[in-house]
Amino acid sequence: MKRRSLLLAGSSLTCLFTHSTTVFLQSYPSKPIRLISPSPPGGGGDISNRIIAKHLGDLLGQPLVIENRPGGNGVVAAVEALKAGNDGHAIFIGGTTTLVANPFLMKSHPFDPSTEFAPVSLIGTLPFILVVDPNLPVKNVSELIAYGKTKNAKLSFASANATSLVAASKFARMTGIDMLHVPYKSAPASLSDVASGQVSLSFVDIPSARGLIQAGKVRVLALTSAGRSSLMPQAPSISESGLPGYEIIGWTAMCVTAGTNPAIIQRLSQETRKVLARADVREQLATVGFEAMASTPEELGAYIRSERPKWEKMIRDAGIDPE
């Protein structure tokens, strides 16, 4: 009899919890949701965020308000997201730089991404591309390597995030080329100086460079992925262009502040996966050079944990000292 009473009590508590969670989710979200991103306005990353935000807002019943906070290698946006609290009304668009690489690149980092952010869903992966000043006398990777080893070559590279920095540093280390690093706050600013000839080259995501590529203002030499990509099928990979074993892949993900109700995290993840499963959304993202790829919170958490030691090793092997 006592055991039966305990079972009934436990069943009642489970029902109460389930009912409370249902009622809670019915009231969420109760206001517009801030989507805080390190991408600058108008860039490829911003365009992809707006594509996702429109459809996700429709599913959630509240608009997602884009807040672009570029600068500090993504730290500015991340800190703003952390200050926003954990009620689920602020989402952070992080990625390779903010969620994995920064702690290995900075002597002093203002937060611990492994404990202060909770994963929601992977959004997508994107190979970076090597673009050069169109007036540089090179048409492919082999010519760039040969040119970089000449006496009069004075190469410089622009970077606006960790992926760009590591990609260029790894390239320099593997080829034995000396290049001056010129840091920027945003990819568009860095590409503008490559296009004008003030900087020799940059490793950058396809969305950020697409406009300048189409206008012929920068020249694409190769992709950083191991092989060719459907996002830019005409471009060879660096690995197949004379530097076997070279590979760098960037990715972006959706997170919230740690301590956010798990029911909210699951709701956000489920709705995001619905958005990214839509053929029209995937096509729109592909047009700006973005390969959609969703995940559960658990899958994203495992992926981030697997990426950290990999990026730590790449940063160390590339000879990059924390600053």
Tens of pLDDT, residues 199-224: 999 999 888 888 899 899 999 999 99
**DSSP state, residue 150:** S
- Tokens (6 digits) for 281: 């959304």
Q: Answer with the residue of higher pLDDT: 162 or 78.
A: 78
State how far Cα 177 lies from the chain centre.
27
201-205/64-68 β-pairing? unpaired
In angstroms, what CA-CA distances link 267 with 20, 23, 112, 260, 271? 15, 13, 25, 12, 6
Q: What pLDDT sits at residue 314?
A: 92
Distance CA 200, CA 194 (A): 6
Distance CA 204, CA 81 (A): 24
Nearest Cα neighbor of 148 from 129, 174, 122 is: 174
What is the end-to-end Cα distance of the chain in Å, rounded?
Answer: 67
Mean pLDDT, to the nearest integer, of 299-315?
Answer: 96
Tens of pLDDT, residues 75-102: 999 999 999 999 999 999 999 999 999 9
Q: Within a 13 Å sphere around the CA of 199, how many CA atoms are in the beta-carbon half?
A: 25
- Tokens (6 digits) for 12: 């009642």
Considering 110-114, 204-208, 319-323, the range whose residues carry the highest mean pLDDT is 110-114
The band of 152, judged by pLDDT with boundaries at 50, 70 and 90, is confident
Domain ranges across the chain: 31-124+251-317, 127-241
Is residue 294 predicted with pLDDT exceeding 90?
yes
Q: What pLDDT sits at residue 51?
A: 95
Q: What pLDDT sits at residue 42?
A: 78
Q: What pLDDT sits at residue 210?
A: 85
Which parts of the chain fold into alpha helices (H)? 2-26, 44-60, 75-83, 96, 102-105, 113-116, 141-148, 162-175, 187-195, 206-214, 262-277, 279-287, 297-317
Considering 2-6, 187-191, 224-228, 299-303, the range whose residues carry the highest mean pLDDT is 299-303
Tens of pLDDT, residues 12-67: 555 444 444 554 567 899 999 999 999 888 777 888 999 999 999 999 999 999 99
31-124+251-317 with 127-241: one CATH topology? Answer: yes
Q: What pLDDT sits at residue 8?
A: 58
Mean residue pLDDT of the chain comes to: 90
Q: What pLDDT sits at residue 2?
A: 54
Q: What pLDDT sits at residue 69?
A: 95
Tens of pLDDT, residues 236-264: 999 999 899 999 988 999 999 999 999 99
Pick the CATH number of 127-241 from 3.40.50.300, 3.40.50.720, 3.10.580.10, 3.40.190.10: 3.40.190.10
DSSP one-letter string for 31-72 = SPEEEEESSPTTSHHHHHHHHHHHHHHHHHTSPEEEEE---G
Mean pLDDT, to the nearest integer, of 116-139?
Answer: 95
Q: What pLDDT sits at residue 196?
A: 96
Average the pLDDT over each of 130-134, 157-161, 227-231 and give the range with the smallest value: 227-231
Q: What pLDDT sits at residue 82?
A: 97
Q: What pLDDT sits at residue 290?
A: 85
Percentage of the chain exceeding pLDDT 70: 92
Assigned CATH for 31-124+251-317: 3.40.190.150
pTM of the model: 0.84
Q: What pLDDT sits at residue 113?
A: 95
**8 A C-beta contact, residue 48 and residue 207:** yes
DSSP one-letter string for 218-259 = SEEEEESSSS--TTSTTSPBSGGGT-TT---EEEEEEEEETT
- Tokens (6 digits) for 30: 């109760």
Return the residue matching tokens 């429709």: 58
Q: Answer with the residue of higher pLDDT: 230 or 112.
A: 112
Q: What pLDDT sits at residue 20?
A: 46
C-alpha R_g of the chain: 22
